[in-house]
A and B are shown apart, each in its own frame.
Chain A
Amino acid sequence: MPTLASSLLQSAADVPSRIAIHLQQAGKDDIAMSYAQLIERGTAYASALMAQGVKKGDIVVIILPHGEALVYAWVGAVLMGAVPSILPPLTEKLAPDRYRRDLAALTEITKPAAIVTYETFASEVNLALAQSPTKIAVVIAELVAHLEFKIENVNFEANLPSEIALLQHSSGSTGLQKGVALAHTAIFNQLRSYAAAIQLSEADVIVSWLPLYHDMGLIAAFITPLMLRVPLVLMSPFDWVRAPQRLFHAITHYGGTLCWLPNFAYNFCAQKIRERDLQGVNLATMRAFVNCSEPTVYSSHQKFAARFGAYGLRDGTLTTCYAMAENVFAVSQSVVGEAPALDESPPDGREARLSNGKPIANVSVKIVDPDGATLPEHTIGEIALQSDCMLTGYFHRPDLTEKAMHGGWYLTGDMGYLKNGEVYITGRKKDIIIVGGKNVYPQDLELLSSEVAGVHPGRVVAFGLMDERAGTEEIVVVAESDIQDEDEQQTVADSVRAHLTRNTDVAVRVVQLVPLGWLVKTSSGKVARTANKEKYLQSDMAA
C-alpha cells in the first residue's frame, strides 16, 4: 500500500518530466509543474520545516492562496511525513481579529508544529499564536523560494500507510474544531474505488477551480490526479467566480475530460456567462461534470445542458455524486455517460429528485431510524455508511468520533433514502446551511448577529432557503430588536450583514429585524430554527 509521499516519489522516478499540474492565474501565463519539479520544490519546504524542528507525524497548517507556493508547501509537508492541513487565507472581507481568534482556537485543538504562510500574513499568524503554550514555527513561503539545499542531503522518514496523512477542516468556528483525520490507507482505498467508479485513467484531464481547503477540491481535484498521474488544470476560485468562462476555456485548451462542481455552479455558468465570452469553447472532450457537495437539483442540470449543448456538451456527461470528508470523499456516484436516475415520486411528496448514484464498490450504505434500525427502500431516514476509507477520527476529539459512530457504522447526519440501490438525499438531520458548496453553521451566524448593537442578544435565528434560480441555499437571518424607526432598522440590518461577512466570509441574502417576542421559542427558551423558518415563510416578509 502506497503513502502520499511514496506515490509522489514513485511518479517522479517513473515519469519525472510528465506535467502533473497546469497552474492558471488570471493575467499570467500558465505554469506547468512536472513531478520532478514537485519533488524538487517540495523538498525545499520539507527542508525548511525540518530545520524548524518539525518531525514526521507533526501537523503542518498551510495558509496560502492559490498558487505555486500552496502546491509546493503541501508536497513538502507530505514528503517529510508531516500531516498537512490547508486553511483558507484571510480575504479582503474577513475581519483580521476574527480570523486570528479562529486560528488560535484551531491551534489549541490541533496543536500544529508549524504554520506555512506568506510574508505579509506572518504577523497576523504570530499574533494568533501569541498565547499558544507550545512552540509553533512560522515558515514564510517567500523565504523558502530562495532556500538553497541539496536533495541528496535530505533524509525523509517514511510514513506507515496506517498513519494519518492529512487533516481536513470545514469552515466556521464550529467546523474548525473538527479536523477530519485521514490515514494513507483510507485515502488510497477511496482513490482506487472512486477511480473505478468513474473509469479514471491517465488519459483523462481534470480541470478545476475548487479551493484546496475544501474536501471536493483537495481529494477529487488535487490528490486524486496527483497520485494517479492524471494531468490537472488548476485555477483560482477567485478568478473563476469573476469570469466563470475561464473554466470552459481551460477545458477547451487542455482537452479536459472531468470536472467537479457544486450545484450552484451549474446555474451560475448557465445564467451569467455572456455569449461572446464563450467564443471558441468546445466541451466535446468532457466525459463528466460531477455535481457534488451540495444538494443536486434536476433543473440545474437542465439549465446547464440547454445552455452548453451548443458548445459540444454531450448527453450523459452531467453526473452526480454524494461525498463527505469523513469518507475521504465519494460515498456514491452516478454512472458516467448516463443521465442520473430521477425519482418521479419521492417519499416526501416533493418534486422529482435526482439520484446521487449507487454506492461506490468499497462503501456500504443503509438508512436507519433514530434507534439505529435499518429502514426499507424508499423510506426516509438517516444515512449510515461503512467503508474501508473512513476517517481515523476527529483529530484530538475522541468524544466527537464516538458520537458519530454507531455499531461500526458512521452516522452522516444527512437524511435520505435508497431506491433501486441508489442514494437519494432529502435533507440534513443537523441544522447546516450549504451555500455555494460551503457548510455554514447557523449557530455561528446567530452568535455573531447577537454581537451587533441593536439586536437583542440570543434572539436571533439563521436558516437557509433554497433559491431555485441560484441553485443553492441563501442565508436568511431574523433578529429581534426594539428599534422602531425604519431608517435605524436598516442601519442595524446592514451592520448585521457587514458583521457576518467580516466574520464568516459568507454572503447573507436577507437580514430581517422583527419586534421583541416575534421569534418562536422552545419550552426551554431556545430559539427554534425550523418553527421560525416556517413562520418567516408564512409572513409577508418572505415575499
Chain B
Amino acid sequence: MDISTTISQYIAAKILRQPKRVIKPTDKLISSGLIDSFSLMDLSAFIEEKFGVRLDDTELNAETFDTVAQLTEIVQSRQ
C-alpha cells in the first residue's frame, strides 16, 4: 500500500472511526474540523511508527499540512 492510502485508511479507521470511509488526497483535514486538535498527536505518532518520520509538535497545524497529499509529501521528503 502506498503512503497516501496508508494515511487515509488510518485516519478513516482510527481517528474518524468510519473504516469504510474514503478520504481523498485533497480533502481538507484540519481546517475542515475532520481531525480535531486532540487527534493530531495520534496522527503524528502513527506517522512516526509507520514511516519513521518525526513531525515536530510545532508542525501539527493546517499551515504545515491540511491534506493527505501534503502530509504524504512531507513523509516522502524526509524518508
A interface residue numbers (CB < 8 A to B): 26-27, 92-93, 238-239, 241-244, 264, 268, 272, 274, 436, 470, 490, 494, 497-498, 500-502, 507-508
Contact = CB atoms under 8 A, between A and B. Distances in A.
Contacts of B63: 92
Interface in B21-69: 21, 28, 30-34, 36-38, 40-42, 45, 57-58, 60-63
Contacts of B21: 490
B23 to A, nearest CB: 10
B38 A507 contact: yes
Contacts of A93: 30-31, 33, 62
A498 B33 contact: yes
Contacts of A274: 45
Contacts of B33: 93, 497-498, 500-502, 507-508
Contacts of A268: 38
Nearest to A490: B21
A474 to B, nearest CB: 10
Nearest to A503: B33
A447 to B, nearest CB: 17
Given A93-B31, A243-B41, 18 more contacts: A26-B57, A92-B30, A92-B62, A239-B58, A242-B58, A242-B60, A242-B61, A243-B57, A272-B41, A274-B45, A497-B33, A498-B32, A498-B34, A500-B33, A501-B33, A502-B33, A507-B33, A507-B38
A470 B38 CA distance: 10
A497 B15 CA distance: 15
Contacts of A242: 37, 40-41, 57-58, 60-61
Contacts of B62: 92-93
Contact of A92 (B31, B36, B45, B57): B31
A26 B30 contact: no
Contacts of B57: 26, 239, 242-243
Contacts of B31: 92-93
A243 B59 CA distance: 11
Contacts of A500: 33
Interface of B: 21, 28, 30-34, 36-38, 40-42, 45, 57-58, 60-63
Contacts of A497: 32-34
Nearest to B32: A498
A241 B40 contact: yes
Given A497-B32, A502-B33, A272 B42 contact: yes
A145 to B, nearest CB: 23
A268 B42 CA distance: 11
A213 B37 CA distance: 18
A436 B38 contact: yes
A92 B40 CA distance: 15
A241 B32 contact: no
Query: Which among A274, A497, A500, A507 has the highest number of chain B CB atoms within 10 Å?
Result: A507
Contacts of A501: 32-33
Given A241-B38, A436-B38, A26 B32 contact: no
Nearest to B35: A507
Nearest to A500: B33
B36 A507 contact: yes
B18 to A, nearest CB: 9
A267 B34 CA distance: 21
A490 B12 CA distance: 13
A241 B42 contact: no
Give the 4 A-B CB pairs with smallest separation, nearest first.
A501-B33, A507-B36, A243-B57, A242-B57
B32 A92 contact: no
A262 to B, nearest CB: 12
Contacts of B34: 494, 497-498
B58 A26 contact: yes
Given A501-B32, A501-B33, A508-B33, A27 B58 contact: yes
A26 B57 CA distance: 9
Contacts of B40: 241-242
A501 to B, nearest CB: 3
Nearest to A487: B22
15 contacts: A26-B57, A93-B30, A93-B31, A238-B37, A242-B40, A242-B57, A242-B58, A243-B57, A264-B38, A268-B38, A272-B41, A490-B21, A494-B34, A500-B33, A502-B33
